[in-house]
Amino acid sequence: MFGVVVVGIGIAGSVRIRDLLSPLQSTPSESLKLQSFVSRRDLGQYNGVKQISLEEALKSNEIDAAFICTENQNHEPSIRRFLEAGKHVLVEYPVALSAQTAHELWQLAEQKGKVLHVEHIELLTGEFNQLKKEVDGKELVEGVLHFTGGALDEQRFGFQSFSGIARITWLVDLFGNLTVTSASKEENEEEKYSKLTAHFTTADNRPLTWIEERAPGMKREKKIKFTFKCGVLDTLPPAPRAALGPPFMQDQNLFAQKLLGQVPEEELAAEKMRILHCIELAERIKKCCQQ
């Protein structure tokens, strides 16, 4: 059994507590035991789970692993402290707000012999699985991924290419490693409107564009237009329910499998390379926008 503490009780943290309290039968998650949670607010108890301080969590012998579910700005210091304290870490994406920090955190995890797992639930949804099947084997000519959503506070969630890393991850998982060719950002501070546009090329020199548009009340939606040699895909295919359970539950199972040593080395290495590549793209986009 691995004792777990959840840090940060927002949207993601609440789902984590729910899923840790009710693991699917006969899945690796049954080897995780939720011991307590850490919050900046004084909550006392949450769903029967007791609140403890961060210092208590770091020192506790009952806790083997931390789920970091705080806002992005806090990921780096939290990961460092739990790894330094000899705990495994699961962190909600993005792992960090710079490529150098992400590399350093992985080095630290390796040095300490602990698992550093970065959640990427966007790859575990029925919607994405279906899209991947549609794209598989088709030859890309050009493509656009356009995301819209509510305003996000950059102070808490970082530059838009980092808070939007899920979209970069989709494109990399669908079309392979990418190169950023240019990027720009439009902003209207008064209306809290922002629009990031990033241009990439694939290894075969095919152009891809990512647009991330945010404003208060803007509908959370993804639109695609992928042109292939054999035709155009301009709607997301209807998504069946993911067979392996809701995405956060699948991610929790993957983390438990890593703790149990059940994930092959080559899979771990490929995942780490994908995550670091996406963070490097996010950093390149940020630099282009700030030039």
Binding residues for NADP(+): 39-41, 93
**To which residue do tokens 């639930």 refer?**
121
Q: Which two tokens stand for residue 41?
A: 């607010």
* Helix pair angle (247-259, 11-21), 10° resolution: 60
289 lines the binding site for ligand NAD (CB under 6 A):
no
- Cα separation, 68 vs 91, in Å, equals 5
State the Cα–Cα distance between residues 59 and 55, nearest whole angstrom: 6
Considering only residues 81 to 100 of the shown chain, the ones binding ligand NAD according to CB under 6 A are: 92-93
Complex with ligand NAD: residue 156 or 223, whichever CB lies closer: 156
Which of 63, 64, 82 shows the shortest CA–CA distance to 74? 82
Contact with ligand NAD (CB under 6 A) among 4, 5, 6, 8: 8
Q: How many helices (H) and strands (E) does the chain have?
A: 10, 13
Q: Are 115 and 253 a contacting pair, CB within 8 Å?
A: no
Query: Is residue 10 within the footprint of ligand NAD (CB under 6 A)?
Result: yes
CB of 13 to ligand NAD, least distance (A): 6
Min dist CB 90 to ligand NAD, Å, is 11
Give the residue with the Cβ less far from ligand NAD, 56 or 134.
Answer: 56
User: Per CB under 6 A, which of residues 201..240 are in contact with ligand NAD?
Assistant: none
Q: Which helix (H) or strand (E) holds 131?
A: helix 126-135
Q: Which stretch binds ligand NAD (CB under 6 A): 8-16, 98-106, 138-146, 228-236?
A: 8-16
| DSSP-derived secondary structure letter, 217 | T
Q: What's the min distance (Å) between Cβ of 166 and ligand NAD? A: 7
Q: Is 69 in the site for ligand NAD (CB under 6 A)?
A: yes
Q: Which residues bind ligand NAD (CB under 6 A)?
A: 7-13, 38-40, 69-72, 74, 92-93, 121
